[in-house]
Amino acid sequence: MTKMLSTKEVARFLGVNEKMVYTLVAEKGLPASKVIGKWIFPQHLVEQWIENNTTNFPETPRSIPQLNGLFIIAGSNDLLLERTIALFNSRFPDLLIALSNVGSRGGLQALRRNICHMATSHLLQENESEYNFDFARQILDRMPVVVNFCRREQGVLLGKGNPQQIHTMQDLGKPGIRIVNRSLHTGTRLLFDHELKKAGITGEKITGYDREVDRHLDVGLEILAGRADAGPAIRPVASALNLGFIPLRWERFDFLITKERFFDPGIQSFLSLLHDPAFRRIADEYQGYDLSLSGRMLFSADETKKTETI
């Protein structure tokens, strides 16, 4: 069960007085819930809030070298990404890609610490229309180059035939429903918690909410094995495992690369695969992918305005 902190405990945790805690809730978005007239604070969300608001990360004593036989990608995982990496490794045997599945936030932090060559991310911004730009500004020293990998459909996986009759997010709050979840560092978890909140459901009250797995595919395998009735994941997993699916939204899944590394030959070779017919054929094997933006360099609205002004 998630540990809950009182106002006094969270004040001590943050090193501030209790009055300041109320200010942080009202003005800075400190995660909190009011139960029977009292504020309570999920400790894991408070820790996440602190991490998201950290600006001065410690300097990394050693930087990752230029691509020299090993190309490291860190961040969110994806079925199409894993198969694209396999395609690259077969086409370019002198350069091996290694994928570190640390979630979208973890990928941005690895890029900030200069311990990966590319980050993968699909973090939904508060405006619910853009992805990744605000998070990159918060975590990184400078805005990276952002290139779209794909668009994909996010939702909730269900057992084949939907035996528990789960049709909406509200149905996840029914007695007896068991779910399996994703890590707090993932964009999928960010979206899932956002949708639960909109549905008026407290996640901690759902059986299995605290049981986390590392990959979208793992969510599907838990449901397939009968250990869970539902869980957040992408439609391609439902397609691959023949599971039920409740769609939530189409999202943008992006690559983020520092400007210093963007023109490295290995990175350019990898990005070139996004226009390759073999890549397109792989995506066609699944439901839930849209390649209309794949390989396109993206800019935030703020950056576009600056460009127009110059």
Over the chain (310 residues), the average pLDDT of each successive run of 10 is 81 86 80 80 79 56 64 96 97 93 95 95 92 94 95 98 96 96 93 94 92 96 97 98 97 96 94 97 98 94 48
Q: Which pLDDT belongs to residue 301? A: 63
Note the pLDDT tens digit of each residue in 137-154. 999 989 999 999 999 999
How many C-alpha atoms does 139 have within 13 Å on its Cβ side? 27
How far is 119 from 232, CA to CA, in rounded Å? 22
How far is 4 from 12, CA to CA, in rounded Å? 14
Q: Which pLDDT belongs to residue 84? A: 98
Task: Please indicate, yes or no, if residue 65 is contained in any of the structural domains.
Answer: no
Task: Please indicate, yes or no, if residue 59 is contained in any of the structural domains.
Answer: no
Does residue 141 share a domain with residue 74? yes
DSSP letter assigned to residue 125: P
Does residue 245 share a domain with residue 130? no
Q: Which pLDDT belongs to residue 307? A: 39
How far is 157 from 223, CA to CA, in rounded Å? 8
Q: Classify strands 96-101 and 70-75 as parallel, antiparallel or unpaired.
A: parallel
Task: Please indicate, yes or no, if residue 60 is contained in any of the structural domains.
Answer: no
Task: Please indicate, yes or no, if residue 180 is contained in any of the structural domains.
Answer: yes
Task: Please indicate, yes or no, if residue 58 is contained in any of the structural domains.
Answer: no
Does residue 230 share a domain with residue 173? yes
DSSP letter assigned to residue 65: P
Does residue 267 share a domain with residue 302? yes
Does residue 161 share a domain with residue 139? no
Q: Which pLDDT belongs to residue 280? A: 97
Q: Which pLDDT belongs to residue 24? A: 86
**Residue 273 phi, psi (nearest 5):** -65, -20
Does residue 269 share a domain with residue 131? yes
- Domain containing residue 126: CATH number: 3.40.190.10
Nearest residue to 121 (alpha-carbon basis) of 113, 111, 129: 111
How far is 178 from 164, CA to CA, in rounded Å? 10
Crossing angle between the packed helical segments 7-14 and 43-52, to the nearest 10 degrees: 30
Q: Supply the range of the domain harboring residue 232.
A: 154-250
Does residue 32 share a domain with residue 110? no
How far is 111 from 136, CA to CA, in rounded Å? 10
Q: Which pLDDT belongs to residue 309? A: 34
Does residue 240 share a domain with residue 158? yes
**The total number of structural domains that make up the chain:** 3
How far is 117 from 64, CA to CA, in rounded Å? 8
Q: Which residue has the tokens 């945790």?
A: 13
Q: Which pLDDT belongs to residue 103? A: 94
Does residue 258 share a domain with residue 143? yes
Note the pLDDT tens digit of each residue in 54-84. 655 554 444 565 667 899 999 999 999 999 9
Task: Please indicate, yes or no, if residue 234 is contained in any of the structural domains.
Answer: yes
Task: Please indicate, yes or no, if residue 118 is contained in any of the structural domains.
Answer: yes
**Residue 17 phi, psi (nearest 5):** -85, 165
How far is 306 from 62, CA to CA, in rounded Å? 34
Is 75 within 8 Å of 108 (Cβ atoms)? yes
Of 215, 234, 250, the residue at which a domain comes to its end is 250
How far is 82 from 261, CA to CA, in rounded Å? 22
Question: Collapsing DSSP states into helix, strand and coil, what is residue 178?
Answer: strand
Does residue 143 share a domain with residue 277? yes
Is 18 within 8 Å of 52 (Cβ atoms)? no
Does residue 137 share a domain with residue 181? no
Task: Please indicate, yes or no, if residue 20 is contained in any of the structural domains.
Answer: yes
